[in-house]
Each structure stands twice: as C-alpha cells, then as structure tokens.
Amino acid sequence: MRLEQRPHAGAAALAPHRAQDDRVAAQGGVRQRVDPPTLASLAKLRGVHQIVVVDDGSTDETPALLDQAARHDGRLEIIRQPPSGIVPALQRGLTACRGAWIARLDADDLAHPARVERSLQWALRHRLDVVGTGVRCFPTQQIQAGLRRYERWQNSLVTPQAISAARFVESPLVHPSVLMNRAKVVAVGGYRDCGWPEDYDLWLRLLRAGAR
C-alpha cells in the first residue's frame, strides 16, 4: 500500500513551531528501494529540523539515492544497519530522533508539504499527543475494494473520541501519516515485536496510557 497524506486532519527533528521544545523529527525506513518521489516529498516538508532514514540492509541503489539526497538537504541523517526488520529499524530511528515530536513516513509514500506544520499546530491547539492525517492510497487502479473501504473508514475518524471508540475494530491511525509526541511514545516502551502489527500495538498502549 502506498499513501499520500492530506493535511486536513492533523521520518528526525522538524523546525520549531514556537519554541525549541516543539521541534519535530521525521522518521522513515528503507528495506527495498526508496522511491525518488518519496525523497522529493521529504525535501519539500516544511517545519522539519531533522530527517532520519534507517536503511535496513538495502542491496540496490538506495544507498546512492540517499547519499545524493543528503548532499542537497542538510536535515537528512542516514542510519545504515544489517537487515533487522521493521521493528528494530523503527526503534533505532526513534532513538536517533532529537525532536519533541516525530512524524512517520515509509519509503514509498508521499506527504503534503504542509503536513507536519498543520499537524503540529493542531496537536498544540487541541493538546493532542498523536495526530493522524487523512490518506489516499495509490496507484488508484491497483487498490482493491477492501483497502478502499478501510481508507474511507480511517478518513472518517476525525476526533479523539472516534479514534478511541474504533480502536478494537481495526487500526484507527495510518502509521505513515502520524505526528507523535516523542516522550509519550517512549514512556509506553516505543516499538515492540509482538508478532502482530507494531503500529496497532503502539496505538493501543498509548490509548491505555491516556494519550489523546
């Protein structure tokens, strides 16, 4: 599944919104080839101080693409490791992020340039710990009916109350669309491998801990 994030709701450290404590970090992970449009999307993100990319043992042209991107964007920090899997890569990226807020993005996704800025504004205004955006899956002609239903359902969850109520139906947030308070994520143990989706596991622990 590939995602395009739209900033109507709310992969690294991002530019300060009001003060040093409001810096955001973008975190991404790569195992297979990183898409050049994804790198271009990251370069256009506004309000970002640091972009952490974890290269989880890629064996194609990804290292060269990342090095080239880093030469043109001083925010980009590349972590390379042997193939370890999604959870160790996420946890290592989380540790490397210095910002108080973390935005996620996968290697084949696209983000609206204003996604982080608007998500952070929304989080601070409404005192939220996690903000997700609306998403659109692509390429459209390859999206099956079940995923299309999930897309509509997920995009309909626009309040903390709706997200909490839907948490046992399916994952109520799309991981590559979220902006998260780093301290809250660390407080519940960060990412862990329990044999089921690591993002869904994180949402449930955050909600149980009282995060909004």
| pLDDT (tens digit per residue) in 74-87 | 999 999 999 999 99
Instruction: Give mean pLDDT, residues 9-25.
Output: 39
pLDDT tens digits, 43-59: 999 999 999 999 999 98
Instruction: Give mean pLDDT, residues 173-186.
Output: 96
Instruction: For residue 140, name the pLDDT band (cuts at 50, 70, 90).
Output: confident
Beta strands, E only, the chain: 2-6, 24-30, 50-56, 76-81, 101-106, 110-111, 130-131, 134-138, 179-181
d(CA 39, CA 109): 9
Q: What are phi and psi of 4, to 5 degrees?
A: -120, 125
